[in-house]
Amino acid sequence: MKQIDINCDMGESFGHFTVGNDQEIFPFISSCNIACGFHGGDPWHMEQTIRQALHHDVQIGAHPGYPDLSGFGRRRMDLPSEQLKACIKYQVAALKGMVESMGGRLHYVKPHGALYNTMVDDPSVASSVINAVRDLDSDLKLMGLAGSLVQSLAEEMNMPFIAEAFGDRRYEANGKLRVRNLEQSVLEEPTEAAAQVVSIVMKGQVTSLAGIVVPLEADSICVHGDNPQAVEILKAISEELIKHQISRKSFS
């Protein structure tokens, strides 16, 4: 039986602002990436999300981003390497401490938004993040875009890497995600997203927006928590996994 990890970005609500529907999402995932306060999240929501993850036996990862709360971390920022490393350490350390205080364990780090996408093409930024994570805890894994530069770099630097694909994002013919500000970059039709996930798991490939088949090997598949159709997409994915005898299981 094939198996795949299903992850989701969680805990991104802050103050009086609600992002996503974490409570309904948890039963359909095996890993969660918890916001650390810079692009979304705050101490209260971080703690509540950790509690839910432990209750549902869902693997916990840190989801640090650029210090860009007003832009939800989706605007690229050119930070000096040492400043970027400090930002990563600060966020991951905060979540790690909270997880451990509640009897859990932090397993991995998945950068958020613009930082995640910048690491795909910029070896300097990718190296800074990898070094920050490794300096903080050498047992932590890094999650990033499958088949990208950051995967090759992580492997060269002996950083355990989780290759990630996306169930609710469209791909370009070069294997990269379609830029969010372009039309048809996000999948919101549950059956279409579920079919993409099955194709990745069963065939090791995804069909780009242009209709080109792209090879894609992934350890984990993400559905974004702030996608308005996240719950329905995850339900459709769960049904398709059962239908194709694919087990949902965390990678650690």
**pLDDT of 252 higher than 90:** no
Instruction: Identify the band that residue 226 occupies on the pLDDT scale cut at 50, 70 and 90.
Output: confident
Helix (H) or strand (E) segment spanning residue 220: strand 220-223
The mean predicted confidence, pLDDT, of the chain is 96
Query: Could you tell me the residue range of the domain that residue 19 belongs to?
Result: 2-248
Tell me the pLDDT band of 183, cut-offs 50, 70 and 90: very high
Q: Tens digit of pLDDT for each residue in 163-179?
A: 999 999 999 999 899 99
> Percent of the chain at pLDDT above 70?
100
Q: What is the pLDDT of residue 84?
A: 98
Q: What's the whole-number mean pLDDT along residues 146-164?
A: 96
- Report, as an integer, the average pLDDT of 78-95: 98
Q: Which two tokens stand for residue 11?
A: 């805990």
pLDDT band at 20 (very low <50, low <70, confident <90, very high): confident
DSSP characters for 59-100?
EEEEE---S-TTTTT-S-----HHHHHHHHHHHHHHHHHHHH
| 168 secondary structure, DSSP code | S
**What mean pLDDT comes out for the span 102-117?**
97
218 has a pLDDT exceeding 80: yes
Give the length of the chain: 252
Check whether 61 has a pLDDT greater than 80: yes
Task: Give the total number of structural domains in the chain.
Answer: 1
CATH number at residue 205: 3.20.20.370
Q: Please tell me the pTM assigned to this model.
A: 0.95
